[in-house]
Chains A and B, each alone.
Chain A
Amino acid sequence: MGDKKGLLFDATLCIGCGACYEACKERNQLPRTAAHFLEDRLSDQTYTVVKRRGGRFVRQLCMHCEVPTCVSVCPVGALEKTATGPVIYHEARCIGCRYCMLACPFGIPKYEWRKILPRVRKCDLCADRLAAGRPTACAEVCPTGATRFGDRQALIEEARARIRAHPQKYVPRIYGLEEVGGTSVLLLSDVPFERLGYRTDLLSEPLPLLTWQVLQKIPNFVVVGSVLLGGIWWITNRRREVQLREHQQREVREPSASESADPSHEEP
């Protein structure tokens, strides 16, 4: 499985120079959105930011989950997890329900609120560059190797090697190895991840399983439900017919004004 790409971000190596931020802006032709890049936040015009958190610089970008929540919740398949790793967006399909934004455990997808015909915007792991055999723009410009591009498996090995080499330095954990079933973007740090602004209370299995457990029961439910309801109708209807007949027979014997329970619609 050497074709699954990913990024490894090592917070201990980031010097907060903003090269990744600027390269991302350039590659996606996005306008300036902040006086200083450290003050910027993710938006429809900013797909990655560098933040000061917990005494470190840390990046924020789409994690490109292995089993992405956004892909699973999109009713029209406008988001897609590609074979090489990137989670990409098919603008022509999107109906604008914004369920991806609600559901993303990392709060990544952003919306073009100011536009009449808005789109969902986020990092696409430079899918076109990957297809051309090149690394992501952010990884290519990083001057310290804090953001490394490579095969996800190789990056995991590399991260393990770094932790082994400096056990007293690193938090002994690769963020993104198991979070919500694993992500293509992996993080290393020497301060606890929650201090970097990364949630450490996420489930380790993919979130789409939570809804799939319910959704997969639908076909069965429809079949069993229809048969059950049909059966109930059959029984109650038969009982009513019998009652009606008995009623009519009684009426023949002792005619009296009685309500006829006509199952059909009322006459106008």
Chain B
Amino acid sequence: MTRWSFRRPSFWQLVFAVILGVGLYSTVVRFTGGLGASTALSDAFPWGLWVGFDVLCGVALAAGGFTLSAVVYIFNIERFRPIIRPTILTAFLGYVLVIVALLFDLGRPYRIWHPLVMWNPHSVMFEVAWCVMLYTTVLALEFSPMVFERLRLERPLRILHALTVPLVILGVILSTLHQSSLGSLYLIVPEKLHPLWYSPLLPVFFFISAIALGCAMTIFESFLSYRAFRKRLEIDLLADLGKVIVVTLAVYLVLKVQDLAGRGVLSRVVEPTYEGRMFLAEMLLGVIGPILLLSLRRIRTDHFGLFVSAVLVVLGFIMNRLNVSITGMEASSGVSYFPSWTELSVTLMIVALGFALFGAAAKYLPVFPERERLPAPTLVEPPAVAVLRRPWIGTTPLVLILGGLFFIGAMGSAYSGLQHRERALAAAPPTSEESEPEIADGLERFEVPPDVTFPQGEASPGPVTFRHASHLNWERPNCTICHHEPFRMLKAFGSVASPPARDLHDERHCGRCHDGRTSFSVKEECTACHRP
């Protein structure tokens, strides 16, 4: 292992320290002030960034784990073995961090274990909870050989090795359930989620996109490892993953178009609205751009091209998950949500922790294959084809142009979407009070409550009989003027805790209106109320 951390300038460590510091401060704010003090969430918008990014994206970005372990262990495609360990590590860390994020987001985090013993199989959230718990366990077991190898513990290694295939099968099943169930969460809000995203196929879309996203994350993190730890880059394998991404995204795109057309909302994609523009951005960035880039062999087999394409997929689907959880829910909620700095800094801290833990694991554990394998087969083309395919432009500029085009297009679309939202918010008419409500029918049936006689107190000129009828504004009766705490409602609550007689004169009781301004004062005309 190289001591990269000492050789590198401490710029990234400094950044990490700052992120961690701010994040820890936000953590204190969150757990001492509550969700209201630390988030921009509200009754109208109960799920924000911590659900939309930390949980939905966190799980989706960990999807490489089940995809690659299925490829290697179940389909026995051995070529991919060299990149399986970093992928499993990513998935494991992803899930651990999702649980950390949940501890922030749950109102009662110390009850996170409740779904274990309090069951409701009708709840998608119940399914999600069980999938998180079980799959994190499976990932821990799949990850543990790296630790055992480091510690040279042979026995547990043998046991785990014998369990590999059943574990992988369990992991794939759980992942499939979990990825799709995050989409199913939103099946229950057909009247709230914007039709561009609400679909009976939500679970299918979440699952398919998770596969593409998992592959893209594998490529992304291979490149980071290659840069940071000088790990060997299995470019041929990654190029194959690029192909998988193209096919998966193509299936996704076809299904998406069919689904939108089937529900009759295809035209809303190009409508100049907040949602339409954000949807377009997500599709350009995560689906159409990467399909085009990765279909070109030159780009797929090029370091830079592959990396840029993977980043596009990751950004596109982060946007997709945020669109489902935030953009698509805003209109129906009647409020616009933007995360507070506390939410942002906690999220940033969790992401930074992910990078740091990955770095530490890569440094101390056998994550990357040490043994050099045979040289990767180079891509050999027949000379004639090579001549025909002589590039008219270098691959790097091509990637920059195409990738940049899609990125700028998507950002432009998102920006235009935000402009539309601003305009829509500005154009929304202020909720003005409407015409005075019609109450004639009600007044006809109005049963005036009975009179109340207060007994004569000491030194009182006489008992008081309160008449509801003479204390009512018959144009607009309002019971709440007197009937808050001091004057309890007899009819509903059986007994009136009659306040001591002298208190009745004070400004909380009769004296409130009988003050000489609204009505005659309690201090003057005693016999107006006290009738001997």
Within 8 Å CB of A87, what residues of B?
none
Determine whether A52 belongs to the interface, using a CB cutoff of 8 Å to chain B. Answer: yes
- Inter-subunit contact B476/A113 (CB<8 Å): no
> CB within 8 Å of B: which of A235-268?
236-237, 239-240, 259, 261, 263-266, 268
Closest to A69 in B: B188
Interface hits, A129-147 → B, CB 8 Å:
137, 140-141, 143-146
Kindly report which residue of chain A lies nearest to residue B122, judged by CB atoms: A72
The reply on A2 being an interface residue by CB < 8 A is no
Which of B75, B122, B374, B491 interacts with A208 by CB under 8 Å? Answer: B122
20 contacts between A and B (CB under 8 A): A15-B446, A17-B480, A32-B484, A55-B437, A74-B125, A93-B118, A94-B111, A95-B109, A101-B46, A102-B47, A103-B189, A107-B44, A114-B37, A144-B445, A203-B191, A207-B190, A210-B190, A211-B124, A215-B184, A237-B76
CA of A117 to CA of B152, assembled, Å: 45
Per the bound structure, the CA–CA distance linking A264 and B145 in Å amounts to 11
| Chain A residues with CB below 8 A from B73, complex form | 233
At the interface, yes or no: B2 with Cβ under 8 Å from chain A? no
With A22-B489, A215-B184, A229-B172 already in contact, the answer to whether A95 and B371 are too (CB < 8 A) is no
Complex contact B434–A229 (CB within 8 A): no
Identity of the chain A residue whose Cβ is nearest the Cβ of B126 in the assembled complex: A75
Q: At the interface, yes or no: B517 with Cβ under 8 Å from chain A? A: no
Query: Could you say which of B105, B185, B203, B492 contacts A26, with CB atoms under 8 Å apart?
Result: B492
Contact B447 A95 (CB under 8 A): no
Instruction: State which residues 420-448 of B face A: CB under 8 Å.
Output: 433-439, 441-443, 445-448
Q: How far is the CB of A88 from chain B (nearest CB, A)?
A: 15
Considering the complex of A and B, which 5 residue pairs feature the smallest CB-CB distances, nearest first?
A: A96-B107, A113-B36, A236-B76, A75-B125, A15-B442
Contact among A37, A97, A103, A107 for B188, CB-based, below 8 A:
A103
Residue in B34, B106, B434 whose beta carbon sits within 8 Å of that of A114 in the complex: B34
A12 is an interface residue with CB less than 8 A from chain B: yes
- How would residues 102 to 142 of chain A score, 1 for a CB under 8 Å from any chain B CB and 0 otherwise? 11010100110111111000000000000000000100110
A115 touches B489 (CB 8 A): no
Quick one: closest B residue to A19, CB to CB?
B479
B396 adjacent to chain A (CB < 8 Å): no
Query: Would you call B478 an interface residue if the criterion is a C-beta within 8 Å of the partner chain's C-beta atoms?
Result: yes
A residues near B42, Cβ cutoff 8 Å: 113
Q: Does B348 sit at the interface, judged by CB under 8 A? A: no
Q: How far is the CA of A25 from the CA of B492 in the complex (A)?
A: 12
In the complex, which residue of chain B has the Cβ closest to the Cβ of A120?
B107
Is B260 an interface position by the 8 A CB rule? no
Report yes or no: B484 in contact with A143, Cβ–Cβ below 8 A.
no
Instruction: Give every chain A residue within 8 A of B441 (Cβ-Cβ).
Output: 12-13
B165: A residues at CB distance < 8 A: 230, 233
Q: Which residues of B24-72 have CB atoms within 8 Å of chain A's CB atoms? A: 31-37, 41-44, 46-47, 70
Report if B323 contacts A (CB, 8 A): no
Question: How far is A63 from B445 in the complex, measured between Cα atoms in Å?
Answer: 25
Interface string of A37-59 (1 = CB under 8 A from B): 10000111000000011111100
Given contacts A113-B36, A141-B489, contact A259 B106 (CB under 8 A): no
Please determine whether B480 and A18 come into contact, CB atoms closer than 8 angstroms: yes
User: Closest Cβ of chain B: how far from A259's Cβ, in Å?
Assistant: 6
Query: Which B residue's beta carbon lies closest to that of A230?
Result: B169
Q: A56-B437, A208-B122, A265-B161 known; A113 and B184 CB under 8 Å?
A: no
Interface residues of B (CB under 8 A from A): 31-37, 41-44, 46-47, 70, 73-76, 78, 105-109, 111-112, 114-115, 118-129, 145, 149-150, 152, 157, 161, 165, 169-170, 172-173, 176-177, 180, 184-185, 187-192, 200, 203, 329, 366, 369-371, 373-374, 433-439, 441-443, 445-449, 476-480, 483-485, 488-489, 491-493
Q: A12-B442, A233-B165 are in contact. List 19 more A-B contacts (CB 8 A).
A: A14-B439, A15-B477, A16-B476, A21-B480, A27-B493, A75-B128, A76-B115, A95-B112, A101-B43, A103-B189, A111-B107, A113-B43, A118-B108, A141-B489, A208-B122, A210-B190, A210-B200, A225-B172, A225-B173
Residues of A bordering B, CB below 8 Å? 12-19, 21-23, 25-27, 32, 36-37, 42-44, 52-57, 69, 72-78, 93-99, 101-103, 105, 107, 110-111, 113-118, 137, 140-141, 143-146, 199, 201-203, 207-208, 210-212, 214-215, 218, 221-222, 225-226, 229-230, 232-233, 236-237, 239-240, 259, 261, 263-266, 268
Kindly state the separation between the CA atoms of A264 and B493 in the bound complex, as whole angstroms: 75
Q: Which residues on A sit within 8 Å (CB–CB) of B479?
A: 17-19, 22, 141, 143
B493 touches A73 (CB 8 A): no
- Which residues of chain B are within 8 angstroms of A218 by Cβ–Cβ distance? 127, 177
The residue from B46, B185, B373 contacting A259, defined by CB atoms under 8 A apart: B373
Q: Do A57 and B492 touch across chains, with their CB atoms under 8 A apart? A: no
Q: In the bound complex, do residue B35 and residue A113 qualify as a contact, i.e. CB atoms below 8 Å apart? A: yes
Known: A95-B111, A98-B107, A221-B177. Contact between A75 and B191, CB under 8 A? no
Given the complex, which residues of A lie within 8 Å of B433, measured CB to CB?
A: 52
Out of B129, B150, B200, B438, name the residue touching A268 (CB < 8 Å).
B150
Supposing A211-B124, A265-B149 touch, asked if A102 and B189 sit within 8 A by C-beta, the answer is: yes
Interface pair B121/A23, CB less than 8 Å apart? no
**Chain B residue with the shortest CB-CB distance to A236:** B76
Chain B min CB distance to A149 (Å)? 11
Nearest Cβ distance between residue B242 and chain A, in whole angstroms? 23
B31, B107, B184, B443: residue with the most chain A Cβ atoms closer than 10 Å:
B107
Interchain CB contact under 8 A, B177 and A105: no
Chain B residues near A17: list those with CB within 8 A: 477-480
Q: Known contacts A94-B111, A211-B184: does B445 contact A22 (CB below 8 Å)?
A: no
Asked if A266 and B369 sit within 8 Å, CB to CB, the answer is yes
Nearest-Cβ distance from residue A257 to partner chain B, whole angstroms: 9
Is there contact, CB below 8 Å, between A56 and B76? Answer: no
- From B47, B120, B190, B488, name the one whose CB has the most chain A CB atoms within 10 angstroms: B120
List, in ascending order, chain A residues with CB within 8 A of B106's CB: 95-97
CB neighbours of B114 from chain A (8 A): 75-76, 93, 95
Taking the closest CB of chain A, its distance from the CB of B107, in whole angstroms, is 2
Complex Cα spacing A211 to B203, Å: 10
Closest partner residue, chain B, to A208 (CB atom): B122
B43, B119, B190, B370: the one within 8 Å of A77 (CB): B119
The residue from B36, B125, B150, B434 contacting A53, defined by CB atoms under 8 A apart = B434
Which residues of chain B come closer than 8 Å to A265, judged between CB atoms? Answer: 145, 149, 157, 161
How far in angstroms is the closest Cβ of chain B from A217?
Answer: 10
**Chain A residue at minimum C-beta to C-beta distance from B374:** A259
Specify which chain A residues have a CB less than 8 angstroms from the CB of B75 in the assembled complex: 232-233, 236
